[in-house]
A and B are shown apart, each in its own frame.
Chain A
Amino acid sequence: MLVPLTYNLRSLFVRRSATVLTLLGIGATVTVLTGFLALQAGFRSLYTQGGRDDVVIFMRPSSTSEGQSLFLREIADRLIKSSPEILAVGDAPPVAAMETYFAVRKQKAHGAGETNVPIRGVQPTSFQLRDGLRIVEGRELKFGSDELIVGRKLIDRMAGCNVGDVIVLNLTPFRVVGIFEGPGACESEIWTDFDRASVALNIPWANAILAKLRPGTDFKKLEERIRSDKETPAKVMTEVDYLRSQTNALGMMLGLLGSILGTVMGIAAVFTAMNTMLAALAARTHEIGILLSIGFRPFSIFVSFLFEALLLGVLGGAIGCLLALPLHGIKTGTTNWDTFTEVAFAFRITPEVLTTAVVFSLALGLLGGAIPAFRAARLAPTEALRRR
């Protein structure tokens, strides 16, 4: 027979100051961890949502990011023309775009210093290649003119990014004509005409080629053919894989920090929980003696104490999650070291984040409660009864 659960609830209530302090201690730990996971989730979701399997990116062999890749124009042209896998409808040109990707120095808003804002030189097909990109203010980019459109996330973060502002690329002034919304990290980018940017910056090349594949294309075969091409070997990745690979450096840094935090703060929280449960044990030794003498099995005592510890853990976890909830949606930004450019993202408290936090807090309770529960179960009834 198990000890009634109300016994545990009431015990927690009787020792409320210790209970509250322990809950807050576990809560603080879980808040920090949840906030951190939310940050990680926000960053990752930028790169994992919106990636498609039928859109591919061509880069130079061994490049890990489009900014590092480089194709001379004629080579890029040849690559597009010699790839029948790229979708082409009727007589229209293939759905492929040469793009340049580089960064310009820009002052952050509110005088927070300079950072590198990504600028993408695009072709008309680039718009066709990105679902869900739309102008929300101003107008579309006119090709052949020195114009820019700016991702919505940049507006508040960077100085001088509004419609009508002028951004000088090397020596040529470019005017901002529109603001766009779009999937993933492109909302942190500035877009301009590929050809005009090449002239202004004197870079006669494309960084990467983005293309849509014909339905039913065997990606493995394409990859193999492009890699072993005699004249212009290249690396081709699906957009999904490419975007995922762009989170490595920062993802590793966040992961490293997160695991150090989780482990160390977790240890401290386990100790606190254990202390509280040991104190509970000391205060209730007499009661345990009574429970044992009226016929409860040691195992029931063990379960009862463990349950109480788990309850502490899960309540603390709930407090932690609640405290972390207001973080959801708060925007922040840092440099993505894979692309070496600024990226803006928001904290995201996802169901996975909450699940991890709750499992973590349960584990804290379990680890903190195991030893006190074991000790409680081992008490001899006569000894325990003698203690007042």
Chain B
Amino acid sequence: MISFKLVRRNLTKHKMRSALTIASLMVGVFLLCVLKSMVVALESGVAGAKRDRLVVQSAASLFIGLPLPYQQRIAEVPGVQKTCKWCWFGGYFREPKNFLGAFATDSDTIFDVYPEMEVIDGSIDDWRKDRSGCLIGDLLAQQFDWKVGQTIPIISANYLPPSGDAWQFTVRAIYKSESSAVDRRTFFFNWDYFQESFEKVMKRTPDTSTIVMRTKPGADQNEIMRTVEGFYENGPQRVQCTTEAAFQAQFLTMMGNVPFLVTSIGSGVLVAIALACVNTMLMAFRDQAHDVGIMKALGFTDGGVSGFMLGQSMLLCIVGGGLGILLVKGLEPAFMAFLGSVFPGYAVTGRTLAVAALVTVAIGLVAGVVPAIAARRLRCVEALRSVE
């Protein structure tokens, strides 16, 4: 029987080699988890979508808005509980690279349509009362260090401000959300203020990009979607009414091959770390061939010496992979902050960690199997003859 102590002692004999192997496994598993979490981030909008929300958008193009009267008519459809507008604002703070997901919305209904949004600083009423107030996500507030009460100049790529070079908004409330359907970096402001400013500059009524509705429990969503699309079958702008999941899915399909690319990069990483482990285990076997001969001479069985090699490989991988998993989980908040603007919804899920653990064990097996077989086949006379 091979004792754990024997396995451990043999690994610590070559401290540097074991440490380097563990470290490359650690960074490899870490990278795998990061890549997987990026894919999770890309898919998070779909995963978090609520069943009772429907989204209405122009059937022709994402660039084309819906006339305002559409909202009233949609709100009156039986089964619709509340509606709110989302109008894409194309905002940025100071420079285009500080790009924001900014939307003009209905401050009186948004919390009914998105009950998962929870205000953690400031108050909803303050925001509703202040025409030029805004409601921002906690991660956005963190990114730019914005506080409640602060006035922020925002430049819009799509809309000219009512005066000066930038729109001025005062932070009135900060929200967070546990659901990935709501991005914690969004910047919302009052529709009324937007409409008033727009009319002053453009001398016409603005359109809204989308209208989101929450349906009543038990409402027939297919019926609602059909009704809404039927309203505008003959113009002026045809609409598409979909579930929130389908709406989010369009952004995922827009990514095209990106999730696939990230996954293939992951397999490249996997190959690299597996090779590193195989290399180490072959080196270990070369060093230990003499020892294995002695062990066999002392009466260790073929199975025993196989287990001895395999055990070393497994221990290396479990320690390395385990550290990688700990590292990725520990750095999750840092990565959320660092990658959040490009990959909102970055999250290390339990599933990701389970996959990582599985991969670790698989690499341990693969790397251990060749020396294990070699150790089994080794004839002890030959092994003993080779002098180190």
Bound-state Cα–Cα, A123 to B245, Å: 39
Partner of B276, one of A64, A116, A248, A268: A268
Residues on the A chain within 8 Å of B280, using CB: 275
Partner of A169, one of B28, B60, B282: B60
Chain A's nearest CB lies how many Å from the CB of B259? 10
Partner of B253, one of A24, A113, A261: A113
Bits for A248-279, please: 1 = Cβ < 8 Å to B, else 0: 11001100110011001101110110111011
Whether A356 is near chain B, meaning CB under 8 Å from some CB there, is no
Partner of B24, one of A61, A171, A272: A272
A333 and B158 contacting across the interface, CB-CB below 8 Å: no
Residues on the A chain within 8 Å of B276, using CB: 21, 25, 268, 271-272, 275
B31 and A102 contacting across the interface, CB-CB below 8 Å: no
A202 and B256 contacting across the interface, CB-CB below 8 Å: no
Bits for B278-322, please: 1 = Cβ < 8 Å to A, else 0: 111011000000000000000000000000000000000000000
Bound-state Cα–Cα, A29 to B272, Å: 6
Who on chain A is nearest to B96 by CB?
Answer: A64
Comparing A31-39, A76-84, A288-296, the segment that makes contact with chain B is A31-39
Tell whether A105 pairs with B268 under 8 Å between CB atoms, given A114-B250, A272-B24, A332-B257: no
Give the contacts of A185-213 with B (CB-CB under 8 A). Answer: 201-203
Residues on the A chain within 8 Å of B334, using CB: none
Residues on the A chain within 8 Å of B237, using CB: 170, 202
Chain A's nearest CB lies how many Å from the CB of B45? 14
Kindly name the residue among A119, A264, A342 whose own CB sees the greatest number of chain B CB atoms within 10 A.
Answer: A264
A253 and B342 contacting across the interface, CB-CB below 8 Å: yes
Bits for B15-37, please: 1 = Cβ < 8 Å to A, else 0: 01100110110011011001000
Q: Count how many chain A residues have C-beta atoms less than 8 Å from C-beta atoms of the other chain.
A: 67
Bits for A1-45, please: 1 = Cβ < 8 Å to B, else 0: 000000000000000011001101100110110011001000000
Tell whether A104 pairs with B31 under 8 Å between CB atoms, given A63-B158, A170-B237, A272-B24: no
Residues on the B chain within 8 Å of A278, using CB: 16-17, 20
Comparing B61-69, B106-114, B174-182, the segment that makes contact with chain A is B61-69
Whether A300 is near chain B, meaning CB under 8 Å from some CB there, is no
Who on chain A is nearest to B91 by CB?
Answer: A62
Whether B339 is near chain A, meaning CB under 8 Å from some CB there, is yes
Bound-state Cα–Cα, A252 to B59, Å: 31
Whether B155 is near chain A, meaning CB under 8 Å from some CB there, is yes
Bound-state Cα–Cα, A340 to B63, Å: 9
Residues on the A chain within 8 Å of B326, using CB: none
A28 and B254 contacting across the interface, CB-CB below 8 Å: no
Residues on the A chain within 8 Å of B160, using CB: 60-62
Number of A-B contacts (CB under 8 A): 184
Whether B99 is near chain A, meaning CB under 8 Å from some CB there, is yes
Whether B90 is near chain A, meaning CB under 8 Å from some CB there, is yes
B254 and A116 contacting across the interface, CB-CB below 8 Å: yes
Residues on the A chain within 8 Å of B157, using CB: 62-65, 68
Bits for B220-256, please: 1 = Cβ < 8 Å to A, else 0: 0000000000000011111010000000011011111
Who on chain B is nearest to A269 by CB?
Answer: B272
Whether B6 is near chain A, meaning CB under 8 Å from some CB there, is no
Bound-state Cα–Cα, A201 to B64, Å: 8
Who on chain A is nearest to B21 by CB?
Answer: A275
A265 and B272 contacting across the interface, CB-CB below 8 Å: yes
Bits for B342-378, please: 1 = Cβ < 8 Å to A, else 0: 1000000000000000000000000000000000000
B156 and A268 contacting across the interface, CB-CB below 8 Å: no
Kindly name the residue among B30, B254, B339 whose own CB sees the greatest number of chain A CB atoms within 10 A.
Answer: B254
Residues on the A chain within 8 Å of B165, using CB: 62
Residues on the B chain within 8 Å of A264, using CB: 27-28, 30-31, 34
Whether B271 is near chain A, meaning CB under 8 Å from some CB there, is yes
Partner of A21, one of B255, B269, B282: B282
Whether B387 is near chain A, meaning CB under 8 Å from some CB there, is yes
Pairs across A and B, CB under 8 Å, 13 listed: A24-B271, A28-B268, A28-B269, A64-B96, A103-B62, A113-B249, A264-B27, A265-B27, A265-B28, A268-B31, A268-B269, A268-B276, A334-B254
Q: Which residues of B are in contact with A by a Cβ distance under 8 Å?
A: 16-17, 20-21, 23-24, 27-28, 30-31, 34, 38, 59-64, 90, 92, 96-97, 99, 155-158, 160, 165, 234-238, 240, 249-250, 252-258, 261-262, 265, 268-269, 271-273, 275-276, 278-280, 282-283, 339, 342, 387-388
Q: Which residues of A are in contact with B by a Cβ distance under 8 Å?
A: 17-18, 21-22, 24-25, 28-29, 31-32, 35-36, 39, 60-65, 67-68, 70, 102-105, 108, 112-116, 119, 169-171, 201-203, 245, 248-249, 252-253, 256-257, 260-261, 264-265, 267-269, 271-272, 274-276, 278-279, 332-335, 340, 342, 388
